[in-house]
Amino acid sequence: MINLSMFTRKSRSVDMTPMIDMVFLLLIFFLLTSVFAVPSINSDLPASSTEQKTDKLDSVVTLKADGRILVGEAEILPQELENRLKSIVAESGGKVITLAADREVNFESIVTVMDSAVRVGAVSVEFLTESKDE
């Protein structure tokens, strides 16, 4: 009689559990260390060699090249501009208006916003720019 146990093959397999663990650990590592882009309004700002950082982006008045006016991320009508500027001046103790004008905006629109800012009691108007790459 032939013993069949001598001829049976032992199955050889690679244990995939450690490799799956490493893949999940790498996935978690890259998710935790990645930097997510903050949603923002796309404007083509002019460049400046002197710069200061600002944190109050919710009260920024943005003038787009197509004539739209945005306060924070909300689009407003030109007739609503002075009322929104009044609320910005009331919220900021320093009475400062921050203006981000697209590089293609005509100067008349910028002067209109500056005149409105003076009428509501703003002391100064700050301009947002991009830093020059040197």
β 69-71/74-76 pair status? antiparallel
Domain assignment present for 2? no
Average pLDDT over the chain, rounded to whole?
77
Domain assignment present for 95? yes
**What is the total count of domains within the chain?**
1
CATH number at residue 84: 3.30.420.270
- The string of pLDDT tens digits covering residues 30-79 is 988 887 766 555 655 555 555 555 555 557 888 888 888 888 888 888 88
- The string of pLDDT tens digits covering residues 90-115 is 877 657 788 888 878 888 888 888 88
User: What pLDDT is attached to residue 6?
Assistant: 61
Domain assignment present for 8? no
Domain assignment present for 98? yes
- Determine the Cα–Cα distance for residues 68 and 96; give it in Å rounded to an integer: 21
Domain assignment present for 57? yes
What is the residue range of 61's domain?
47-131
Domain assignment present for 16? no
User: What pLDDT is attached to residue 98?
Assistant: 83
pTM: 0.54
DSSP 2-51: --GGGTPPPP-----HHHHHHHHHHHHHHHHH--PPPP-----PPEESS-
- The string of pLDDT tens digits covering residues 18-29 is 999 999 999 999
